Amino acid sequence: MATHEEETHKKFIDLERYGYQKERRDHWDRISRESNNPARPGAFYHQLLEKYYQFLIPPGLRILELGCGQGDLLASLRPSIGVGVDFSGEAICCGSKRHPDLLFVQADAHDFSFKGTFDVIVFSDLVNDLWDVQCVFENLRPLCHRRTRLIMNFYNNLWRVPLSVVKQLGLGASVLNQNWFSPHDVLNLLGLSGFEVFKLIPAILFPLQVPFVSSFANRFLANILPFKWVTLTNYVVARPAPDQVQTSFSETPSISVIIPAKNESGNIEGILKRMPDLGNNSELVFVEGNSSDNTYETIKRLIEEFPERTCRLYRQPARGKGDAVRLGFEKAKGDVLIILDADLTVPPEDLPRFIHALVSGGGEFINGVRLVYPTGEKAMRFFNIMGNKFFSLMFSWLLGQPIKDTLCGTKALWKRDYELIAANRAYFGDFDPFGDFDLLFGAAKLNLKIVEMPIRYRFRTYGTSNISRWRHGLALFKMVFFAAKGIKFI
């Protein structure tokens, strides 16, 4: 039972919060009545925000936006179900007329509740205005399923003085006193509230519309040092922190191991003998790729000699490992897809680790890493190591997540995610000879949590590598260029 002093203190806090919220509600009601002018201050900034959110959020998802205003940003994301929440009655009234296909709710974000979950929850410049940010974050947990994404942007506190000057000059949006958070502050509050952050993206260096200058500053300079330290806003992508529950393989979904094989006849028996038990619903999908030895015939014969294994064999009509992997994924029946190179440089015995990381929720795209443990003698040549390190730095910068090894053949992901990656493949161009970059770019575009799985890389005991160091290296440079255009310089 609360004491009189505690009740008095609570009433004081409630009154203080009520006054804070009322001041803002009245302010945004007034702004909503005046905001029909497309040339209003801040209009170009909001156009840039829409562009970034459209890049981060594919259409057709169930989206909730808190602090939605009149719903222009939410409508631009083309949700299958769009719910906009704002405490301004004027904003809600205007939004309902402008976007009748959206559902608008007048409510305070601190107290909002809804029956159901969302794929994406959007906060655009909202944390700057909230009374209790942690309370709002915690209030969102019942609205999230396991794969929900919380995507927000908030001002860089280095812009506190410049924005004050711009406001005085009448060039920026009218705002009241703000919360000024550093990225660390927001990431810490999300962690305290049960969310895991895996992307922090600086954006918008020049929020005014000036021909050439705006485009050059926002598309290019904002992505390189030292300019990205002083961008106007920071984007954060987070997900509900997974419950790290131990999962036995009898409880896992069905598993498909895709094994591209070209000139690997001497390794096939080792694969079938060494493959660990991945559950009753596992299968091995061999894709033979125009071998000059008898790889296809060897696979066909050994499948009959190992009837306890569920195996299928396909002959690749085109060329390249990437094409073989895509054919294997297309034919796979499992819920989980894993690539295992037939050269056995990655041990089949390591595959259960990939499955556990994926099924437990530790990650949504598990990428093998050969550069953590010492490699086996002669397993990787010096220039290959240098090339891998260079491309790992480039990809970490491009994707906004640490990528230590871009060319390890072993990767695991959910089939439903692969289908989304395949549906959006044209965004980056369909010319990846390996398949690795196609998957990494697609996973990053879908905001999947990429987790790296260190493995010990072995020296191949049969055959020679199918990779041409210099010719394929040039192809990688080409892919990096196209990815930069599609991911960084948007």
The per-residue pLDDT for 471 is: 60
Mean pLDDT, the chain, integer: 85
Residue 370's pLDDT band (cuts 50, 70, 90): confident
Instruction: With respect to residue 233, please indicate whether it lies within any of the assigned structural domains.
Output: yes
| pLDDT-based confidence at residue 171 (cuts at 50, 70, 90) | low
Q: Which range has the worst mean pLDDT, 1-5, 299-303, 344-348, 452-456?
A: 1-5
Q: Which of 38-42, 188-192, 212-216 has the lowest mean pLDDT?
A: 38-42
Sheet containing 118-124: which strands, arranged edge to edge? 103-106, 81-86, 62-66, 118-124, 144-155, 233-240, 195-203
Cβ(452)–Cβ(404) below 8 Å: yes
Instruction: Name the domain boundary from 217, 240, 263.
Output: 240
pLDDT above 70: percentage of residues in the chain? 84
pLDDT (average), residues 441-446: 89
Structural domain boundaries, residue 208 = 22-34+42-240
Is there a single domain that holds both residue 286 and residue 346?
A: yes
Going by pLDDT thresholds of 50, 70 and 90, the confidence category of residue 489 is: confident
- 467-488 pLDDT, tens digit each: 555 565 676 777 777 777 777 7
Mean pLDDT of 111-124: 93
The CATH number of whichever domain residue 302 belongs to comes to: 3.90.550.10
Q: Are residues 217 and 314 in the same domain?
A: no
User: What was the pLDDT predicted at 19?
Assistant: 80
Highest mean pLDDT of the ranges 15-29, 379-393, 427-441 = 15-29
Give the other-Cβ count within 10 Å of 222's Cβ: 22
Establish if 11 belongs to a structural domain. Answer: no
Q: Is the pLDDT of residue 31 over 50?
A: yes
Residue 280: inside a domain: yes
pLDDT at 23: 83
**Segment among 28-32, 50-54, 315-319, 460-464 with least mean pLDDT:** 460-464
Inform me whether the pLDDT recorded for 246 exceeds 50: no
Q: Taking Cα atoms as reference points, which of 340, 306, 475, 469 lies closest to residue 408? A: 340
> Which domain CATH number covers 57?
3.40.50.150
Are 184 and 273 within one domain? no
Residue 453 has pLDDT above 60, yes or no: yes
Backbone dihedral region of 116: left (phi > 0), alpha (psi from -120 to 50 degrees) or beta? left
Q: Mark whether 193 and 294 lie in a shared domain.
A: no
- Separation CA 90–CA 477 (nearest Å): 52
Are both 133 and 271 inside the same structural domain?
Answer: no
Per residue in 291-304, pLDDT (tens digit) is 989 999 999 999 99
- Residues 338 and 258 sit within 8 Å (Cβ to Cβ): yes
Residue 380's pLDDT band (cuts 50, 70, 90):
low
Which of 4-18, 35-49, 212-226, 394-408 has the least mean pLDDT? 4-18
303 with 210, same domain? no
For residues 88 and 194, membership in a common domain is answered with yes
* pLDDT for 470: 58
Confidence of residue 140 (pLDDT cuts 50, 70, 90): very high
- Residue 54 pLDDT > 90: yes
Same domain, 289 and 428: yes
The answer to whether residues 77 and 174 belong to one domain is yes
195: its two tokens: 């969310």
pLDDT tens per residue, range 151-170: 999 999 888 877 777 666 66
Tell which phi-psi region holds residue 370, choosing left (phi > 0), alpha (psi between -120 and 50) or beta. alpha
Q: How many domains, the chain?
A: 2
What pLDDT is recorded for position 27? Answer: 79
Predicted local distance difference test score (pLDDT) of residue 242: 81
279 and 177 share a domain?
no
User: Helices 436-445 and 469-483: crossing angle, nearest 10°?
Assistant: 20
| Dist. CA 124–CA 132, nearest whole Å | 16
Domain membership of residue 12 (yes or no) is: no
User: Which residue, 240, 275, 309, sits at the end of a domain?
Assistant: 240
How many angstroms separate the CA atoms of 138 and 189, rounded?
A: 10
Q: What's the predicted TM-score (pTM) here?
A: 0.83
226 CB contacts (<8 Å, ≥6 apart)? Answer: none
Residue with tokens 């040092």: 225
Same domain, 379 and 433: yes
pLDDT value, residue 247: 46
Q: Which two tokens stand for residue 354?
A: 């990939």
Which position has the higher pLDDT, 259 or 42? 259
156 and 305 belong to one structural domain:
no
**Is residue 77 within 8 Å of 102, Cβ to Cβ?**
no
Tokens at 254, concatenated:
């069905």
* 153 vs 53: CA distance, rounded Å: 9
pLDDT of residue 400: 77
Residue type, 449: K
How far are the Cα atoms of 290, 339, 417 from residue 296, in angstroms, in the given order?
9, 18, 30
Single out the residue in 212, 240, 268 at which a domain terminates: 240
In a domain, 1, yes or no: no
